[in-house]
Amino acid sequence: MASTVDELDLYEKYLALSDKLKIAEEDKTKWVCDKVATALAARDKQIELEKERREHELKILTLRQTVSHTDNAESAGLSEKPSKKPRFPMFNALIQDIDVYLDNFSRHPTASKWPQREWPSILFNLLQGEALTVLLSLSDADRECYEKVRDALLRYGNCTISGFNKKFRSSAPLESENFETFVNRVKRYFDRWIGLANVSTFEQLVFLMLKEQIYSSCSDELAKYLKDRKPTSLEHMKDLANAFTEASPHVHLSMKKPTCYRCGKYGHIKKQCRVPEHALKQPATKPRRERSASNVSRSNRNAARESNFQNKQGSSREFSNVAVASAFDAGEDTVTLTVSRCCLFCRWCPV
C-alpha cells in the first residue's frame, strides 16, 4: 500500500513539473512515466545498498561477539593462562606496512605463550578498513588458520616478490623520516625481495637482478611469457625468448610501440594495418618532425631573399628572419608576401 502511495505522489509531482516545463500533451504521459520509473529504480537501488550495508555490519558484530565469548570462556576455564590478551595497537594502513605489522604482532602472542590457533581471533580485533574486509572474505575454515590469514593479508599489501621489487626500486625519503630510517626501510624491502625469491648465493642474486632488469626492459608480451614459465637460468631464458620470437614474429621485443604510417595509430606497422580504406581520413604520411636548426636557417635565408626582392619593388616594409610565402604574377609590377610565422627572437611581433 505504501509503495502505491509513493508512486502516486511521484506521479503527481512529475505531472505538476511537466506543466511548469510546458511539455506537449502527447509527450507528457511518456515523460512522466519515465521519470517515475527512474525515481523508483533509484529508490530500490538505495534500499538494496542499505540492506547490504546492514547485513555486513551485522556479520561483523556477530563475529566480534563470537570471538569475545570464546575468549571469556577460555580465560575463565583455564586459570594457568593470563587473564588478558596481549595489548597491541590497531592496524593503520596509512602509516604502517602490513608485513611489518604482522611481524611485530607475532612477537606478542609468542612471548605470552598463546597457542597459534588463537592468533586469528586476536588479530581480527586489531584490523580495520580493507584489511578487515580481506579477512571477512575468507571461509570459516581459512579464517581459523593463522598461516592462511597471514598469506591473505600479505597479498592484500602486495608483499610479494614483484611487490617488494617495485617498493625497493621506487622508494623515496618521506617527509616524516630521517635518512637512517629511509636506509633501513630500503634495506628491508631488499631483504624481503631476495628472501621471497629464495636467494642465498651471489650467483642467484646476479641472476635475480638480471632477470628483473630484462623483465622491465622488454615488451609486456615477452615479459609475461617469461614470467609464466619461470626460467631457472639465463640460458633457459634465452631459449624461451627465442621460442617466443619464432611463435610470434610480429611482436616486438622492445617496449617501444611501433607506429603505423598508414592510419597513424600505435601498436602495429603498415604491413599489419587492418583499417579499411574508407576509414582513412588522409593518405599515409610519416609523423612530422620538429623543425631543426638547418630548416630554420633555410627558412630565414628564403625570407631574406623575398625581403630583398620586395625592397627592390619599392615596398615600404622590410622582413628579416621571417618565414614567408610569395605569390608573383608575371603581368604585374608587384609581388605579394604572406608572413607564415613570426620572427624567431622578436617578442613584440604578433604571431
Q: How confident is the model at residue 202, as a pLDDT?
A: 92
Residue 222 class from Cβ within 10 Å (0-12 exposed, 13-18 middle, 19+ buried)?
Answer: buried
Rounded Cα–Cα distance for residues 117 and 120 (Å): 7
Percent of the residues in the chain that have a pLDDT greater than 70, as a whole number: 69
324-333 pLDDT tens trace = 455 445 555 5
137-182 pLDDT tens trace = 888 888 888 888 888 888 888 888 888 888 888 888 888 888 998 8
- Cell numbers at residue 196, please? 621471497
* Residue 132 pLDDT > 60: yes
* Residue 226 pLDDT > 80: yes
- Cell numbers at residue 107, please? 612477537
253-295 pLDDT tens trace = 555 567 788 888 877 778 778 888 877 765 545 545 444 445 5
Rounded Cα–Cα distance for residues 263 and 276 (Å): 9
Mean pLDDT of 64-90: 60
Buried b (16+ CB within 10 A) or exposed e, 17-32: ebeeeebeeeebeebb
- How would residue 81 be classed by pLDDT, with cut points 50, 70 and 90? very low
Mean pLDDT of 57-76: 71
- How would residue 78 be classed by pLDDT, with cut points 50, 70 and 90? very low
Percent of the residues in the chain that have a pLDDT greater than 90, as a whole number: 2
Residues facing residue 192 across a β-bridge: none
- Cell numbers at residue 66, please? 563470537
- How would residue 65 be classed by pLDDT, with cut points 50, 70 and 90? confident
Residues facing residue 82 across a β-bridge: none
Angle subtended at Cα 304 by Cα 303 and Cα 306, rounded to the nearest 5 degrees = 65
